[in-house]
Amino acid sequence: MAERAWIRGAQQGSVADLERLFREHWPRAYRAAHLVTGDAAAAEDIAQEAFLAAVRNLDRFDRSRPFGPWLHRIVVNRAIDWTRARKLRAEVELGDYLPAAPAPERNGSALARIAELPAEHRAVVVLRYILEYTPGEIAELLDLPRGTVNSRLRRGLDRMKEDAE
């Protein structure tokens, strides 16, 4: 499998293999971060930090495991933290001092409706329907019980349907 070869090459010092790995995984990592945070700059920071973490841990990475889930685990958890922190700041009424969060485009698309979900629901919906992980894999990625993942998926989808109606 090409990915394993790229990881092995990167571990042995090949910039070209690292770049292949990066180009393969960047779009989905950035997109996941963007969908969860709703903020392009934050998404860029989060995706970048995830890749830097990958570089730092490259030598210890187990080549028998897929790279994507490992990366997405960092990206999505970090994106949830970022979204919670922003929400927390908003709750202490910093309106005079903080710029308002950019409002998601309400164009009725599925992506716009995802942006309306709470961060935790948004994360599982993104992982399930954008990154196409199974509920079991999502449970493992986010350290959640499988039932919690299922209920968040269900509630998330219900809410998206309500928004669409």
Partner 1 sequence: MREAERRTWEVVKRAYEERSPAPRRARKPLVPALIAVAVILGAAIATPPGHAVFQKVREAVGVQQAEPALFSLPSSGRLLVVSADHGGVWLIHDNGLKRRIGSYTDAEWSPHGLYVIATTPHQLVALDVNDGIRWTLPRRASWPRWEGTRVDTRIAYLTPTGLRVVAGDGTGDHVLDRYAQDVPPAWDPLRLHTVAYFSGGAIVLRNADSGQVVWRAPISVLPSDLVWSSDGRYLAVTSSHKVIVLTQQGRVHRTVTTLGEGFVDAAFQPRTHRLALSIRTATGSEVRVVDVDHPGHARTLFAGPGTFGDFVWSPDGRWLLLAWPTADQWLFLHGSRVHAVGNIKEQFPRGDHLGPVLQLDQRWCCTR
Binding site for partner 1 (CB under 8 A): 10, 12-15, 18-19, 22-23, 26-27, 30, 40-45, 47-53, 55-59, 74, 78, 82, 85, 88-89, 92, 94, 97-99
Tell me whether residue 37 or residue 153 sits nearer to partner 1 (CB atom).
37
Smallest distance, Å, CB 104 to partner 1?
Answer: 17
Smallest distance, Å, CB 5 to partner 1?
Answer: 14
Smallest distance, Å, CB 100 to partner 1?
Answer: 10
All residues at 6 or more sequence positions from 34 whose CB lies less than 8 Å from its CB, including other chains: 40, 43
Tell me whether residue 62 or residue 165 sits nearer to partner 1 (CB atom).
62
Smallest distance, Å, CB 53 to partner 1?
Answer: 5
Tell me whether residue 94 or residue 164 sits nearer to partner 1 (CB atom).
94
Tell me whether residue 28 or residue 152 sits nearer to partner 1 (CB atom).
28
All residues at 6 or more sequence positions from 16 whose CB lies less than 8 Å from its CB, including other chains: 9
